[in-house]
Amino acid sequence: MLTATLSTLLGQPEVSAFLRGIVGRGRYANAYLFHGPHGVGKCTAALAFARAALCERVPGAAAAAAGPSLFDAPPATERMLGDDACGECRGCKMSGTLQHPDLKFLFPLSGEERTLEGTIEETLEELRKDPLFVFQYEKAASIRISQTRELIAELGYRPHTASRRVVVVRDCDRMREDQFSALLKSVEEPGASTVWVLTTARLARVPATIRSRCQRVRFRPLPESVVRDTLQRLASVDEKSARMLAALASGSLARALAMRDADPDMRSQRDAALQMLAPALQRKPELLWRAIQQATGFGKAGRERLRMSLEFHQLWLRDALHLRYGAAPETLVNRDQAALLQELAGRLDAAEIRRRLLVLEEALRSIDGNVSPDLTLFSTLSRVAGDRLGEGAWPAHATARWDV
């Protein structure tokens, strides 16, 4: 059962207020485009919005177009005019399990045409069971022609039971040009009873003709505290790991969950990463090299591990910078390292810590190029520990972003 409602959307108060305003007034645009980073709740919000729009107890939602019904209309006293799904009416019951005939939900798929039905059903089943379900698909996954063909044929008819139909298209940037133009036709139809809700994390890939015809709704990265609390509350992640995952996830709950799935024990991963740093700090290059060789075994698929190691080092240095700026030790991500971090923060000034953070930043940017993980780690960690290794001066503007 999908339990997310507009009133309980995580960490997106402006979006929630805006969408409830629309539902409360019962006046919908033809199309909305929800955009913002990956994994911050755009699709959850789109489905919650759809449920509210299809709830039979909010203004204008009762099947006005179909005429009054003798059997289904709730007595006037039960009617609560609200701005969110009630969760109890017939419409909510159907949309809560994604089985409302007037709710169409399209998402990217890969695989052969004949297996699509099965894949769709399996995915929906997962989604019903797990409120934190993370969509994962192959690079080439797309909204399939067969999905839109059926839908477009249906758009010619009136909605089944509600006064409107809601079509949610997840990651609409994975549609083809001709699908967009078919969609465009429907969006422009006067008096259309269909509300489109498109989501994308890649706004630039949505054709300008579509962007300009949609009302845009912008989603922001989730606050670190929201990611942390959600991990603890809904994903049973322990407090320490949740703190670390949230700090690493850049405001994306999906990213935090993916990292948890990759390795539930964040703590030992971090320890392994920091262990590599120790010989660098002691200025023992041969020990550093050996530690890296032991820890990595980074093959071709090791980029993600390399990235994560560097991000752990980043969090660690960021803690040192926070201490330098006077933060309390209990607010650190790496609280258990407070003594070591205090020592470092006492020894280095803020500019020097920022300079070292930039070394990590630089290394993280280089990962997508053809770098060798062990050499990258070696030179990066040596520099993080204070070796200059011939680098030039850092441009002043580049250091600004670490001011917190």
Binding site for Zn ion (CB under 5 A): 55, 57, 86, 89, 92
Residue of 213, 404, 235 whose CA lies nearest to 325: 404
Least gap, CB of 42 to Zn ion (angstroms): 22
Least gap, CB of 84 to Zn ion (angstroms): 9
Least gap, CB of 277 to Zn ion (angstroms): 54
Token pair of 304 as six digits: 């993600």
Residue of 126, 187, 130, 198 whose CA lies nearest to 155: 187
User: Which positions ≥6 away from 392 have C-beta within 8 Å?
Assistant: none
Using the minimum distance from each CB to Zn ion, give the nearer residue, 78 or 121.
78
Residue of 263, 283, 284, 282 whose CA lies nearest to 272: 263
Using the minimum distance from each CB to Zn ion, give the nearer residue, 85 or 381.
85
Residue 119 dihedral angles phi and psi, to the nearest 5°: -60, -40
Least gap, CB of 125 to Zn ion (angstroms): 23
Using the minimum distance from each CB to Zn ion, give the nearer residue, 58 or 288.
58
Least gap, CB of 85 to Zn ion (angstroms): 5
User: Which positions ≥6 away from 23 have C-beta within 8 Å?
Assistant: 6, 49, 52, 53, 58, 82, 83, 84
Token pair of 63 as six digits: 């099947």
For 234, half-sphere exposure in the C-beta direction (CA atoms, 13 angstrom radius) is 17
Using the minimum distance from each CB to Zn ion, give the nearer residue, 83 or 173.
83
Helix axes 145-154, 177-188, angle to 10 degrees: 20
Using the minimum distance from each CB to Zn ion, give the nearer residue, 45 or 231.
45
Least gap, CB of 68 to Zn ion (angstroms): 18
Residue of 353, 359, 404, 396 whose CA lies nearest to 377: 359
Least gap, CB of 230 to Zn ion (angstroms): 25
3-state secondary structure 138-189: CCCCECCHHHHHHHHHHCCCCCCCCCCEEEEECCHHHCCHHHHHHHHHHHHC
Using the minimum distance from each CB to Zn ion, give the nearer residue, 88 or 352.
88
Least gap, CB of 86 to Zn ion (angstroms): 3
Residue of 18, 82, 15 whose CA lies nearest to 55: 82
Q: How many helices (H) and strands (E) does the chain have?
A: 16, 5
Residue 105 dihedral angles phi and psi, to the nearest 5°: -125, 115
Using the minimum distance from each CB to Zn ion, give the nearer residue, 16 or 95.
95
Using the minimum distance from each CB to Zn ion, give the nearer residue, 83 or 319.
83
Token pair of 134 as six digits: 């993370």
How far, CA to CA in Å, does 347 sit from each of 53, 281, 318, 343, 350? 59, 13, 15, 6, 10
Using the minimum distance from each CB to Zn ion, give the nearer residue, 22 or 92.
92
Least gap, CB of 88 to Zn ion (angstroms): 6
CA distance 114 to 116: 6
CA distance 188 to 211: 13
- The distance from CA 260 to its chain's CA centroid, rounded to whole angstroms, is 14
Least gap, CB of 95 to Zn ion (angstroms): 8
Using the minimum distance from each CB to Zn ion, give the nearer residue, 62 or 315.
62
